[in-house]
Amino acid sequence: MKNLVLVGFMGTGKTTVGAALAASLEMKHTDLDDAIVEWEGRSIPEIFTDQGEAYFRDVETKRLAQLLAVGSQVVTTGGGAVLRKQNVEMMLEHGIVIALHATEEELIKRLEKDTGRPLLAGGVATRVKTLMAERAGVYDFAPIQVDTTGKSLSDIVLEIKRQVVERTQDGEQ
Ligand code: S3P
């Protein structure tokens, strides 16, 4: 079976949903950010501070390729992993891609107290608004689109599973 790849803006719940989805399908769950941290032996804020975002994006692409090559996993990605065309192409080739969404208001609420995301430094609400505007449409390539606002974790997992089954019945493997 192809990988199930979760994409979406920071705070849309990719990691939490991915873990629950994997458990319910008895699949392995691998998180791209965790794989990067393990590979680098330091946190994401440290990578950004020490070597900058461009370096992080290069490592992100390399690790994504490795994770996707394993196959049959639920792979959760960082919000910016879709910014490179090469990454999007890999995701579509080696997985069924699921985009999670939430309203700007909901995301700001969820991310308000966050300190582990370097791109939100300097004011969460302003940064979320700016990045959401800059990234408008970047998750639209995913064939499965799920709005998580106001939904329970179990409902989100059910909705994803229903849509994955529909797609695989339509001929995707
Ligand atoms: C980023 C999102 C983060 C992490 C890094 C950059 C982004 O992952 O990869 O801080 O560019 O949106 P989450 O989406 O899991 O927060």
- Where residue 165 falls among pLDDT bands split at 50, 70, 90? very high
Instruction: Write the pLDDT tens digit of every residue in 104-121.
Output: 999 999 999 888 999 999
Nearest ligand 1 atom to alpha carbon 9:
14
- Where residue 167 falls among pLDDT bands split at 50, 70, 90? confident
The CATH homologous superfamily to which domain 3-166 belongs is P-loop containing nucleotide triphosphate hydrolases (3.40.50.300)
pLDDT of residue 57: 98
Break the chain into its structural domains and give their ranges.
Answer: 3-166
Q: What is the mean pLDDT of residues 29-51?
A: 97
Residue ID of nearest Cα to ligand 1 atom 16: 10
Q: What is the mean pLDDT of residues 138-156?
A: 97
- Where residue 173 falls among pLDDT bands split at 50, 70, 90? low
Please choose from 64, 119, 148 the residue to mutate so as to test ligand 1's pocket, defined by most ligand atoms within 8 A of CB: 119
Closest CA to 93 of 59, 161, 141: 141
Please choose from 10, 57, 100, 112 the residue to mutate so as to test ligand 1's pocket, defined by most ligand atoms within 8 A of CB: 10
Pocket of ligand 1 (CB under 6 A): 10, 14, 33, 44, 78-80, 117-119
Residue ID of nearest Cα to ligand 1 atom 11: 80
Closest CA to 69 of 88, 90, 87: 90
| The two structure tokens encoding residue 55 | 């370096």
Instruction: Write the pLDDT tens digit of every residue in 55-98.
Output: 999 999 999 999 999 999 999 999 999 999 999 999 999 999 99
Nearest ligand 1 atom to alpha carbon 60:
9
Q: 12 and 148 in contact (C-beta within 8 Å)? A: yes
Predicted model pTM? 0.96
pLDDT of residue 172: 57
